[in-house]
């Protein structure tokens, strides 16, 4: 077995390496830092399992029944420490209280963003917040299967492609497995993130640095985009969008994984039990208390997802909403992010001359474009307030 799937389609979900009984598959970084499977021909016995479980080669089950909601955690503390409405944390807390475990992405080490196993409520903070980078799954899939075979309830939270990889690896559904994905734009590599942080901090040592990309300033109700680094609980660096290069590059899709630009999961037809996302149109939302710091969109995609969502009703405020309205307001529920013209230019500079030169020649220009667009938008908005005919 020499090719598992076309390189451009590989999402790095680790299903292939996790299923290999001979440990013949390892992951190796490409020139931009993305991990791809490499087969050891000496250890490989050509059993074909890796090809069989690859989501690109098999049909992964998708939505059976869908219900859509706008929701928020009742706990203000849960809201304050979460990116939007705190739904992922409420779900995690519920599963742990039932004796289960949670697998989610941790950004507590900015140079090693990876999935961790959480079994205590006090550990939930370690997997809170948005991480705009591809997390390392390690041996998570094997650990999840081991937990499920022991009868332990499992909640897995990840990108749609990671969720597809897990489903494909397990080869069957488990009654005690709950899979939650989120509306995903795309993922940069860990190497690009680490290089961007080093470039901003002007230092190589990143040990002990915790990274956040959505955070609240003071008593603000809304989280802001940017990059915040903490060390020992204190802020070591903070720069908001569009002043920060990394978050600008991320939002403009400059340095995603190749497969992200042709994502098979960027649609309203999901592969998870529950899909979470931000709900931005708060001014139109009247029934949920406006004391909420943020609101989440929730799509229940299966009977299990609906049952899990109903089980946390006493901990949240929620309102049913037509799924079409969520799809209409979120591009990644309709199609994948279009590859920008600057993608190739950034890649060339990054591979040949490093991140700093890629920033100077590509990202800095994208930052200027963003600031210009925001400025024009404010002018148009101001004019519309005083010239009714333009509304």
The pLDDT, as a whole number, for residue 236 is 93
Has residue 327 got a pLDDT over 90? no
The correct CATH number of 7-53 out of 2.30.30, 3.30.70, 3.30.410, 1.10.3470 is 3.30.70
b/e per residue 202-212 (b: at least 16 CB within 10 A): eeeebeebbbb
Residue 10 pLDDT: 98
Structure confidence at residue 212 as a pLDDT band (50, 70, 90): very high
What stretch of H or E contains 70? strand 67-73
Give me the pLDDT at residue 225, please.
87
Task: Transcribe 182-220 into DSSP letters.
Answer: E-------HHHHHHHHHHHHT-S--TTEEEEEEE--TT-
- pLDDT of 55 > 90? The answer is yes
* Pair of tokens at residue 85: 């409405």
The alpha carbon torsion through 366, 372, 377, 382 (nearest 10 deg) reads 160
| pLDDT value, residue 60 | 80
CB of 110 closer than 8 Å to CB of 133: no
Cα 358 to chain center, whole Å? 24
Closest Cα to residue 10, out of 185, 241, 263, 197?
A: 263
* 250-275 pLDDT tens trace: 999 999 999 999 999 999 999 999 99
pLDDT in tens, 25-43: 999 999 999 999 999 999 9
Query: DSSP string spanning 252-275?
Result: TTSS--GGGGG-TT-SSS-SSSEE
Q: Does residue 387 have a pLDDT over 80?
A: no
Domain boundaries, the chain: 7-53, 67-187+256-333, 190-254+341-389
Determine the pLDDT at residue 329: 81
Read off the pLDDT of residues 85-144 as tens digits, 9 standing for 90 and up.
Answer: 899 999 999 999 999 999 999 999 999 999 999 999 999 999 988 899 999 999 999 999
Query: Shortest CA distance to 293 belongs to which of 212, 218, 240, 213?
Result: 218
Q: Considering the chain, what is the average pLDDT of its residues?
A: 91
At residue 290, does pLDDT exceed 80? no
What mean pLDDT do residues 334-355 have? 96
pLDDT digit string, tens, across residues 60-84: 878 877 899 999 999 888 888 887 8
pLDDT of 284 higher than 80: no
Among residues 364, 368, 362, the alpha carbon closest in space to that of 347 is found at 362
Provide the pLDDT confidence category of residue 294 given band limits of 50, 70 and 90. Answer: confident
For residue 213, which phi and psi values (nearest 5 degrees)? -115, -10
Residues 193-212: what's their mean pLDDT? 94
d(CA 213, CA 195): 16
Residue 203 has a pLDDT of: 92
The answer, yes or no, to whether residue 386 has pLDDT greater than 70, is no
Residue 254 has what pLDDT?
A: 97
């Amino acid at each position: 077995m020499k090719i598992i799937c076309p390189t451009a389609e590989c999402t790095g979900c680790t299903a292939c390496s996790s299923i290999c009984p001979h440990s013949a598959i390892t992951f190796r970084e490409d020139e931009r830092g993305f991990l791809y499977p490499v087969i050891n021909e000496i250890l490989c016995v050509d059993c074909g399992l890796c090809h069989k479980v690859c989501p690109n080669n098999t049909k992964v089950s998708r939505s059976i029944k869908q219900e859509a909601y706008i929701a928020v955690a009742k706990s203000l503390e849960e809201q304050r420490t979460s990116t939007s409405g705190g739904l992922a944390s409420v779900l995690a807390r519920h599963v742990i209280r039932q004796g289960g475990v949670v697998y989610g992405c941790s950004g507590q080490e900015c140079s090693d963003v990876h999935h961790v196993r959480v079994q205590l409520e006090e550990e939930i903070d370690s997997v809170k917040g948005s991480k705009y980078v591809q997390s390392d799954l390690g041996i998570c899939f094997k650990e999840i299967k081991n937990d499920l075979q022991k009868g332990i309830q499992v909640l897995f939270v990840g990108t749609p492609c990671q969720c597809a990889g897990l489903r494909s690896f397990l080869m069957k559904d488990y009654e005690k497995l709950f899979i939650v994905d989120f509306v995903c734009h795309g993922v940069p590599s860990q190497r690009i993130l680490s290089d961007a942080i080093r470039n901003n901090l002007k230092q190589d040592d990143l040990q002990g640095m915790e990274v956040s990309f959505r955070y609240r300033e003071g008593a603000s109700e809304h989280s802001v985009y940017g990059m915040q680094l903490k060390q020992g609980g204190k802020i070591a660096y903070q720069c908001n969008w569009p002043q920060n290069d990394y978050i600008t590059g991320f939002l403009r899709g400059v340095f995603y994984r190749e497969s992200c630009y042709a994502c098979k999961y960027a649609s309203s037809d999901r592969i998870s039990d529950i899909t979470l996302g931000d709900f931005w149109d708060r001014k139109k939302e009247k029934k949920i208390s406006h004391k909420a710091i943020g609101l989440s969109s929730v799509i229940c995609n299966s009977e299990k997802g609906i049952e899990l969502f109903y089980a946390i009703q006493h901990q949240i405020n929620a309102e049913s909403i037509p799924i079409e309205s969520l799809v209409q307001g979120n591009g990644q529920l309709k199609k994948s992010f279009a590859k920008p013209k600057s993608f190739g230019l950034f890649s060339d500079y990054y591979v040949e001359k490093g991140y700093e030169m890629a920033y100077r020649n590509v990202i800095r220009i994208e930052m200027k474009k963003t600031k210009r667009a925001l400025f024009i938008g404010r002018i148009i908005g101001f004019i519309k307030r005083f010239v009714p005919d333009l509304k």
